């Protein structure tokens, strides 16, 4: 890559070069520690004599802005460079819109702590220590070979056919979803799937119904697109369907593992939801984010498998079963949505990384994904069981677990007048990360309690952590 220098005329070239390099260093555009091209190479690039470049370098060295290192080259002196000046702010025509985005913030961001907690019950985080990195490495090498053999520069916006077929087979096996590869759209995590579906359905002022408590990133997304959110309460059977308003265009639910409380939606409630959606002509987004991990009771079919009218868009993610950093998710779309959403995907980012798609397709087809899920299932089941034993044992005076059969978090509701926020603050002081249910409520009266994630905490750490929580509770009771 060439250094950007523009010289004019044939006179004073050394001074021009000196002035431009100095301006770049003073402004911070040429960062401290950056290596400059050798004098011969820069002279060839600029079409000047080597003497001209050497003279400019010499002056900058005299000014202590450059330093030569024997056998390595010429570098910008770190300690003498100045920070980039702040440009003069010009009032923007779109400032009101920018202010709304700034005010929205980032929901569910991890707290900024001086030090992470030794024991952390954060939700949504998986057990990375048990991921088969060697198998993934081999799949990534396969992906590189596939990309090397491919002539085209860009891929299909809907996703690689090989990955779409692998996803269709996997979710038919694991979740009973009715689909083929032609119904699958690959995207950058479940959040992009929500965004794309919402983009093609939501217009400013239209109504979106969602659970309260519910998933904040979905609510913020729908609001950002101009929707009016109807916050529908939940009970022991899930979303209170009879409360969904007339005129609703989109319904967002987590029926297999209600977020954040954890209970599954009952079969009668699921049928009622599908019937209400058909009356309204509303699309249902079924966010099935972690229900591949199920621990007790009979398996429940995905809501999508009960859909007879093409109203359910099923959204899944590999952040929970593979790696969050991979940012791969998918949507199973009914016929009416498939083409609009595919177009929205292409306009958004053209397509998801082909390299990652090849690797994941191989990972699934060779059976690594199912083996990993089964291995993690046993790990999570043991952790869940231990937390439940403690909640039903020495922690029972303060908390009661919400019945749940899937996922890798559970909720514990506080008893009496326990100040959950105060408990969380005290737990931080003894290196235990606890998280409140309060932020997930919007209009419904918050049920005070904790969201206890067990995906990232090891089994042997659960008792020491909960011992500290119990001791803290005894101290404030």
Residue with tokens 């690594």: 368
User: Residue 391's CB: how many other CB atoms inside 10 A?
Assistant: 21
Domain boundary among 347, 368, 389: 368
**17 and 42 both lie in a single domain:** yes
**162 and 218 both lie in a single domain:** yes
CATH number of residue 280's parent domain: 3.40.640.10
| Spatial distance between the Cα atoms of 140 and 121, rounded to a whole number of angstroms | 31
Domain boundary among 348, 368, 388: 368
Which range has the top average pLDDT, 56-70, 72-86, 121-135, 335-349?
335-349
Residue 112 lies in a domain: no
Give me the mean pLDDT over the 50-65 stretch: 93
Residue with tokens 């105060």: 422
Q: ω into residue 49 within 30 of 0, thus cis?
A: no
**Which domain range does residue 390 map to?**
119-128+371-476
Residue 96 lies in a domain: no
**364 and 440 both lie in a single domain:** no
**403 and 274 both lie in a single domain:** no
Q: Select the more confidently predicted residue: 406 or 78.
A: 406
Q: ω into residue 260 within 30 of 0, thus cis?
A: yes
Categorize the per-residue pLDDT at 109 as very low, low, confident or very high, splitting at 50, 70 and 90: low
* Token representation of residue 456: 């990232």
Task: Return the bridge partners of 120, or none.
Answer: 433
pLDDT higher than 60, residue 342 = yes
pLDDT tens, residue by residue, 227-246: 999 999 999 999 999 999 99
* Token representation of residue 102: 């700034």
| Spatial distance between the Cα atoms of 447 and 452, rounded to a whole number of angstroms | 15
| Spatial distance between the Cα atoms of 453 and 124, rounded to a whole number of angstroms | 7
**199 and 338 both lie in a single domain:** yes
Question: CA 208, 213, 214, 219 torsion: positive or negative?
Answer: positive
pLDDT at residue 380 in the model: 94
Residue 62 lies in a domain: yes
Whole-number mean pLDDT of the chain?
Answer: 92
pLDDT tens, residue by residue, 399-426: 999 988 899 999 999 998 999 999 999 9
**287 and 159 both lie in a single domain:** yes
**360 and 384 both lie in a single domain:** no
> How would you classify the pairing of strands 119-120 and 432-433?
parallel
What is the H or E stretch that residue 35 is in? strand 35-36
Is residue 413 within 8 A of residue 448, CB to CB? The reply is yes
**276 and 167 both lie in a single domain:** yes
Is residue 306 within 8 A of residue 270, CB to CB? The reply is yes
**176 and 247 both lie in a single domain:** yes
| Spatial distance between the Cα atoms of 474 and 467, rounded to a whole number of angstroms | 11
Residue among 1, 80, 6 nearest 36 (CA) = 1
* φ and ψ of 411, to 5 deg: -110, 145
Categorize the per-residue pLDDT at 87 as very low, low, confident or very high, splitting at 50, 70 and 90: low
- List strands edge to edge, sheet with 248-253: 184-187, 329-332, 312-317, 283-287, 248-253, 207-212, 228-235, 238-239
CATH number of residue 51's parent domain: 1.10.10.10
Is residue 443 within 8 A of residue 212, CB to CB? The reply is yes
DSSP 16-75: HHHHHHHHHHHHTSS-TTPEEPPHHHHHHHHTS-HHHHHHHHHHHHHTTSEEEETTTEEE
Residue with tokens 């059976």: 367
Residue among 268, 266, 320, 267 nearest 290 (CA) = 320
Q: How many structural domains comprise the chain?
A: 3
CATH number of residue 441's parent domain: 3.90.1150.10
Q: Following CA atoms 23, 26, 30, 32 in sequence, which dihedral angle do they give, to the nearest 10 degrees?
A: 150
Domain boundary among 368, 389, 424: 368
**291 and 377 both lie in a single domain:** no
Residue 100 lies in a domain: no
pLDDT at residue 102 in the model: 87
Give me the mean pLDDT over the 448-463 stretch: 96
Categorize the per-residue pLDDT at 81 as very low, low, confident or very high, splitting at 50, 70 and 90: very low
pLDDT at residue 446 in the model: 93
Give me the mean pLDDT over the 320-345 stretch: 95
Residue 75 lies in a domain: yes
Residue 179 lies in a domain: yes
pLDDT at residue 434 in the model: 96
**140 and 281 both lie in a single domain:** yes
Give me the mean pLDDT over the 55-73 stretch: 91
Alpha helices in 209-256 (DSSP H): 216-224
pLDDT at residue 249 in the model: 97
**191 and 300 both lie in a single domain:** yes
pLDDT tens, residue by residue, 131-178: 999 999 999 999 999 988 877 678 899 999 999 999 999 999 989 999
Give me the mean pLDDT over the 187-209 stretch: 97
């Amino acid at each position: 890559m060439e250094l950007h220098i523009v010289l004019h005329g044939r006179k004073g070239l050394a001074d021009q070069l000196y002035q431009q390099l100095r301006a770049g260093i003073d402004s911070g555009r040429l960062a401290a520690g950056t290596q400059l091209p050798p004098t011969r190479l820069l002279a060839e690039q600029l079409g000047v004599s080597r003497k001209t470049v050497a003279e400019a370098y010499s002056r900058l060295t005299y000014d202590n802005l450059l330093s030569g290192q024997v056998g390595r080259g010429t570098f910008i002196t770190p300690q003498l460079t100045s920070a980039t000046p702040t440009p003069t702010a010009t009032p923007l025509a779109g400032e009101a819109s920018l202010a709304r985005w700034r005010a929205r913030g980032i929901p569910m961001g991890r707290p900024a702590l001086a030090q992470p907690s030794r024991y952390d019950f954060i939700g949504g985080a998986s057990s990375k220590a048990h991921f088969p990195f060697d198998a993934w490495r081999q799949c990534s090498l396969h992906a590189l070979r596939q990309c090397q053999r491919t002539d085209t520069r860009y891929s299909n916006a809907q996703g690689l056919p090989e990955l779409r077929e692998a996803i269709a087979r996997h979710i038919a096996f694991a979740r009973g979803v009715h689909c083929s590869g032609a119904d699958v759209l690959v995207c950058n995590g479940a959040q992009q799937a929500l965004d794309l579906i919402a983009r093609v359905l939501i217009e400013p002022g239209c109504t979106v119904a969602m659970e309260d408590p519910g998933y904040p990133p979905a609510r913020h997304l729908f609001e950002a697109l101009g929707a009016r959110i109807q916050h529908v309460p939940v009970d022991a059977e899930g979303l209170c369907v009879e409360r969904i308003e007339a005129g609703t265009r989109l319904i967002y639910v987590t029926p297999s593992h209600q977020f954040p409380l954890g209970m599954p939606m009952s079969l009668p409630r699921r049928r009622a939801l599908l019937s209400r959606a058909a009356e309204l002509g509303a699309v249902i987004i079924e966010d099935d984010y972690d229900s591949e991990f199920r621990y007790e009771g009979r398996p429940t079919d995905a809501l999508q498998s009960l859909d007879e009218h093409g109203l359910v868009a099923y959204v899944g993610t590999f952040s929970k079963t593979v790696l969050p950093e991979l940012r791969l998710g998918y949507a199973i779309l009914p016929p009416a949505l498939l083409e609009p959403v595919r177009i929205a995907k292409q306009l958004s980012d053209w397509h998801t990384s082909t390299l990652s798609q090849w690797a994941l397709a191989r990972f699934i087809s060779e059976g690594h994904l199912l083996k990993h899920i089964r291995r993690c299932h046993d790990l999570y089941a043991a952790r869940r069981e231990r937390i439940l034993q403690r909640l039903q044992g020495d922690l029972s005076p303060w908390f009661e677990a919400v019945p749940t059969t899937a996922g890798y978090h559970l909720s514990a509701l506080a008893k009496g007048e326990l100040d959950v926020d105060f408990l969380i603050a005290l737990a931080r002081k003894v290196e235990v990360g606890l998280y409140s249910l309060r932020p997930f409520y919007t209009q419904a009266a918050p049920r005070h309690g904790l969201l206890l994630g067990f995906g990232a905490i090891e089994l042997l750490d659960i008792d020491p952590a909960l011992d500290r929580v119990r001791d803290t509770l005894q101290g404030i009771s």
